[in-house]
Amino acid sequence: MNQLDQLKQYTTVVADTGDFPAMHAYSPQDATTNPSLILKAVQKDDYRHLLEKAARDHARLGTAQVVDRLLVAFGMEILKLVPGRVSTETDARLSFDTAGTIAKGRALIALYEAADVPRERILIKIASTWEGIRAAEVLQREGIRCNMTLLFSLPQAVACADAGAQLISPFVGRIYDWYKKSTGIEYTGADDPGVQSVRRIYDYYRKFDHATEVMGASFRNTSQIVELAGCDLLTISPELLGKLADSNAPMTRKLSADTAQAASLEKLTLDEKAFRLALNDDAMATEKLAEGIRLFCADSIKLDGLVDALIGA
């Protein structure tokens, strides 16, 4: 078997893309999107019609409502191609607004349900800030499942699990980027700080019986993926899916509930003060969280601009 098929024996493979042919080619179980991926997709001729239809049909509702309907339109098309779930992201500009995030999550689910898409097939993506985690706690109690994104540290992961989040998306590649820039070292294999971070989170969840799913994200190379075989889910770009499909190198399971029991980890208890202090003490996590929010905000503003140009706002 090629590496992609080997990986699917241990891990649920998720397509990290807004590109429909790539999903069809690699048969992932789920798919994820974010503002950057949607912005990139709607600037291609193949997907421009989704933007134009959303603008044409809902122009009178204003820019924000058109964007919501565009995101849901992408999600619905993706659900035709994957048997599982699609993740739809809330506006990154709400990252520090608990009430606004709750309202946005409810609105997106309402749009899906109005189109007869069951909420079990949708994950609402929310930034793993304290405010975002509190929003997820409310939404989860309402049966709205959440995917906590922009996650770079164990304290973030613990707070998400304590809030009952369905799934977290720790960012392997962005952690690797920070340490590579900071130290000048080209990390490989099990020495990769991004890999180590996800392994630590996975082991913590399994050791202390948290139900929240772990989905490694933001990969820079296939070595990072190979080292996380056995993680609950991995969301992978089409480029790296292709490399896995083209390789017949052996892949073995690296993460499991059994090996997690041997991990030397202490249970954390985090209130808001402890969470903020722990996050502040981690320079990498603090910087990458802030940077990630800024980048997603910038792309959301660009997406708004494309909508504005079509509706004459």
Residue 53 annotated as catalytic:
no
d(CA 272, CA 130): 7
Distance CA 179, CA 185 (A): 8
Contacts 24+ apart (CB under 8 A), 107-112: 107/68, 108/68, 108/71, 108/72, 109/144, 111/68, 111/69, 111/72, 112/72, 112/75, 112/76
Length of the chain: 313
For residue 138, give Cα distances in angstroms to 2, 107, 147, 272: 42, 14, 13, 16
List 125, 207, 254, 288, catalytic entry: 125
Instruction: Measure Cα distances from 166 to 47, 220, 224 in Å.
Output: 30, 25, 23
* C-alpha distance from residue 293 to each of 72, 190, 237, 252 (Å): 21, 28, 20, 35
Rounded Cα distance between 151 and 126, Å, is: 10
Quick one: which of 305, 308, 276, 293 has its CA closest to 93? 293
The dihedrals phi and psi of 168, each to the nearest 5 degrees, come to: -125, 155
DSSP assigned state of 153? S
Residue whose C-alpha is closest to residue 108's, from 67, 58, 68, 155: 68
Q: Which residues are catalytic?
A: 125
